[in-house]
Amino acid sequence: MALLESTSWVFSALLVVVPSILICLIVLWIVRKTISAAALRKHHDVAGYTFSIVGVLYSVILGFTVINVQERYNVAAETIHTEAAMMADLYRDAVYFDLPSRSAIRSSLRKYVQYVIQEEWDLQRKKIWSYDADTTLQNLWNSYEEVDFQNEKTRIWYEQTIAKLDRLMNARLAREFCSWEHLSSMMWSVLLCGGIITICFMFLFGLENLRMQMLMMTLLSGYLSFMLFLVFSMDHIFQWSPHLQPKAFQNALVLFDRLDEQNR
């Protein structure tokens, strides 16, 4: 599992797809050596009709599952971008506060971003909750307590900033929730059993050309195993490749440096 998580998605997919194909081909070869093609052809009519029904039902379930995990992947990516955008807005808006408050706010924002990139992201992949995050967030909130309301304009900016800070917290919580959401065990049972049943129907057909049947088995088992690998990868968006990366937070740090240069 650790090897699959640390490698590229191409290598991980090959480690899943190739053994699945080999197992199916070995079982097919054993079946054809045990049962003659003539005996299998006696059941082609019923097997073919049943196989078409099973194939349609499984393709519908698998298709909707892929759409579901893809939508959750997109929502998680959008949530991360929203969180990074809120931090960039807070860092920019801090210029309208007094110098001590501005320095404290921007320092807290930098520490928060660095914490997410350097520590929390890896902990999130391992599904480990860290109390250091609560301390970092509390320091960020505390940095807004000492803002000096020099005029009404500052008060307006402060109110807008607090609203963005709330949106930042909502985006952060949504990111945490996304890292814990997965398909249920019941759904995985349906997907795995459906894939096995679909492939097993190929053993009920007896083509005269065994090589052609092995080719069909290779295509079917390879495609189904790759689709299941895709579902599993997209369902574990922070663990498995292609997992989400903290690029949005890294870009936020670059933007912080730009804003600092502009305010000098």
Give the pLDDT of residue 2: 54
Domain coverage including residue 208: 2-262
**Mean pLDDT of the region 23-43:** 89
Q: How confident is the model at residue 264 (pLDDT cuts 50, 70, 90)?
A: low
pLDDT higher than threshold 60 for residue 33? yes
Q: Is 234 exposed, middle or buried (0-12, 13-18, 19+ CB in 10 A)?
A: buried
Q: Answer for the pair 197, 47: CB distance below 8 angstroms, yes or no.
A: no
For residue range 173-231, what is the model confidence (pLDDT) as tens digits? Answer: 888 888 888 888 899 999 999 999 999 998 988 888 888 999 999 999 999 999 999 89
Helices (H), the chain: 2-6, 9-34, 37-41, 44-93, 99-115, 121-125, 132-142, 152-180, 185-200, 210-235, 247-262
Q: List the single range of 7-16, 162-171, 215-224 with lowest mean pLDDT.
A: 7-16
Residue type, 51: F
Q: Which segment of 23-37, 53-67, 71-85, 120-134 scores lowest on mean pLDDT? A: 120-134
What is the predicted pLDDT for the residue at 208?
A: 84
* Residue 32 pLDDT exceeds 60: yes
Nearest to 89 by CA among 252, 264, 258, 263: 252
* Number of domains comprising the chain: 1
Mean pLDDT of the chain: 86
Higher pLDDT, 131 or 46: 46
* Predicted pLDDT at 37: 84
Mean pLDDT in residue range 138-156: 82
Mean pLDDT computed over 74-93 = 90
